[in-house]
Structure 1
Amino acid sequence: MDADDICMSTRLEKQVAYLDSHPEVIICGAQIEYFGTKSNKYVKLSFPTKDKILKEMLAFSTCFAHPTVMMRKDIIVKNKLQYDYDYKNAEDYCMWINMISLGKFANLDEALVKYRISDAQVSQPYNLQTIKSVMACRRKYLERYLSEDEIKDLFESPIKVWTVKSIKQKISNPRVIEACYLSLERYSLGSLLYYVFSADVFKLGFGAFVRYMKRFVFGKNPIYYNSNLV
């Protein structure tokens, strides 16, 4: 938490109780409530609560509201975990990836921190350093599933529909597959038809379809791309 955020009075009590009753969980986060002069212009995030979905989400973003996180000290000490400052502005994202295999993740479905939105936040301007660090985290995550050459192809070569087909043969993680769709070199009627008739529109969910259609209509920065070219 930052000094200008607000902790709900029952936050620590509820997270400790949850961790005490779920010994398999090593990280417990919660939802956040946004406030401040700029909060009406800020994208409101709702974080999943289940371990499998949280770890899949790391394919392209952090899965915790960082100010809400509570972790088990013994896990940190035993595994000598610390922030890796090579991932500047995304140190937390990198740490969650490093902790995937150490135990289960969870978020409480309740806002336990009031998070102030202001112009002074490091994460607010999506600057070049942050982009590079986030992209490095995504590559790090994919090391769990793909070879170095396959990862290089995803980040340094244009992603086409046949790339998506190839990735689906190697990975069942729906968020990795979604990230490939959101990184297509070109959005066309053919790619849309494949997305629909391959049944991925159902497998990946409605939210993924909305994100795909936004890129289809407006075009946006891809999830996987060579950050050295930015």
Structure 2
Amino acid sequence: MNYSVLMTVYKNDNPSYLKKSMLSILNQSILTNDFIVVKDGPITEELQNVIDLMDEEFPSVIKQVDLKVNVGLGLALNEGLKVCKNDIVARMDADDISLSTRCELQLKEFKKDIDLDIVGCDVDEFVGNEDNIICTRSVPGTNEDIYRYAKQRDPFNHPTVMYKKKKILDLGGYKDLRKNQDTDLWLRMLMNGCKGKNINHSLLLFRFEDETYKRRKNWLNTKSLINIRYHAFREGFSSFGDFSKICIMQILIYIMPITFQRWIYQNFLRTSKK
């Protein structure tokens, strides 16, 4: 079973992180035959050098898509989806690291259950060096548990997902959102009857930095997530209680210091490795 890999790169990405991320995909136990790298606007020479180096080593695998201007993650992913030649597509971020068996194990799930539309997995979060794993973000495994969990929280770790391209395109692809594009997509998939599964093993190393907290602590992120969750409530997917809890938590994260956000994550939203 062939699969495509979809990654976006933009000018502020770290070249060293990008190289590790791309190598982790190119060293999978089952290699993709279609690695789509979307450049979301002009990128630095250092980033381009990394992509060109990988392209030279895997000339028949990597396909570069150039966008003249930065359009944002959602629209950039849509452009990449258009050129993916396989129906099964694995997402990958430019700063994370996939374990070598990630894609093989996800493909096995699609083979076992042809009705699956999306497969994710747990992640280990690390700071600095990949060996410095600080915690695990586990997500529910079964379709039923995914639906329940999604009423208040993201049911998939976004850089781990492998999904069916046709299903995503049938739903209109990613929306033109600057934040929380993935949350919006998961909810639309579930509200439209898509079937999901998560492998309850960590198959990806997620890079976590202080900037991660800062990116989530801004009004654009808060407003975007509340709007997405309000739509899910209006559509009857979640209850008013679910929506209220999300609003309270997001507003607290926005107005309280980063130390509060860190405390919430470490004590309620993650499993510590310490």
TM-score category by the smaller chain? 0.5 to 0.7
Runs of at least 4 residues of structure 1 off by over 6 A? 38-43
| 1:25 and 2:51 are equivalent in the alignment | no
The 1:142–1:223 alpha-carbon spacing in structure 2 relative to 1, beyond 3 Å, is: farther
In structure 1, how many angstroms separate the alpha carbons of the residues matched to 2:176 and 2:129?
Answer: 28
Q: Which runs of 5+ in 1 are unaligned?
A: 147-172, 184-220, 226-230
Task: Indicate the residue corresponding to 1:56 in structure 2.
Answer: 148
Cα offsets for 1:28-71 (capped at 9, x unmatched): 00000111149989774221111122122222221110010000
Residue 89 (1) aligns with residue 179 (2): yes
Q: In structure 2, what is the equivalent of residue 118 of structure 1?
A: 209
Encode CA deviations 1:148-196: one digit per residue, 9 max, x unaligned.
xxxxxxxxxxxxxxxxxxxxxxxxx6xx47536747xxxxxxxxxxxxx
Return the offset for 1:124.
4.2
What does residue 75 of structure 1 align with?
Answer: 167
Per the alignment, do residues 106 and 112 of structure 1 end up closer, same or farther by CA in structure 2, a change over 3 Å counting? same
Supply the AA of the counterpart residue of 2:189: M
Letter in 2 for 1:137: I
Matched, 1:34 2:125: yes
2:79 aligned residue = none
Equivalent residues of 2:171, 2:189 under 8 A apart: no
Report the CA distance shift for 1:118/1:83 in structure 2 as closer, same or farther (over 3 A): same
TM, length-normalised to structure 2:
0.50
Unaligned runs of 5+ in 2: 1-91, 252-274
Give the equivalent residue in structure 1 for 2:189: 99
Matched residue SS, 1:24: coil
Letter of the structure 2 residue corresponding to residue 57 of structure 1? Y
Equivalent positions of 1:1-230 (< 5 A) are: 1-37=92-128, 44-77=136-169, 79-86=170-177, 88-100=178-190, 101-121=192-212, 124-145=215-236, 176=239, 179=242, 182=245, 222-223=248-249
The structural deviation recorded for 1:142 is 1.0
Q: Report the count of equivalent residues.
A: 160
Where is the strand percentage greater, Structure 1 or Structure 2?
Answer: 2
Contact 1:180–1:223 (Cα < 8 Å) also in 2: no
Separation of aligned partners in 2, 1:120 and 1:179 = 28
Match of 1:97, as an amino acid?
L
Amino acid at match of 1:179: D
Contact 1:90 1:134 (C-alpha < 8 Å) held by counterparts: yes
Q: What TM-score comes out, normalization by structure 1 length?
A: 0.59
CA distance in 2, matches of 1:133, 1:82: 18
- Mapped partners of 1:109, 1:54: distance in 2: 12
Q: Please state how far the C-alpha of 1:224 moved relative to its aligned partner.
A: 8.5
Q: Which amino acid aligns with 1:113?
A: L
Cα–Cα, structure 1 residues 181 and 128, in superposed 2: closer, same or farther, change >3 Å? closer
Percent identity, aligned pairs only?
A: 24
The 1:8/1:42 distance shift into structure 2, 3 A limit, reads closer
Q: Which has the higher contact order (CA 8 A, sep 6+)?
A: 1
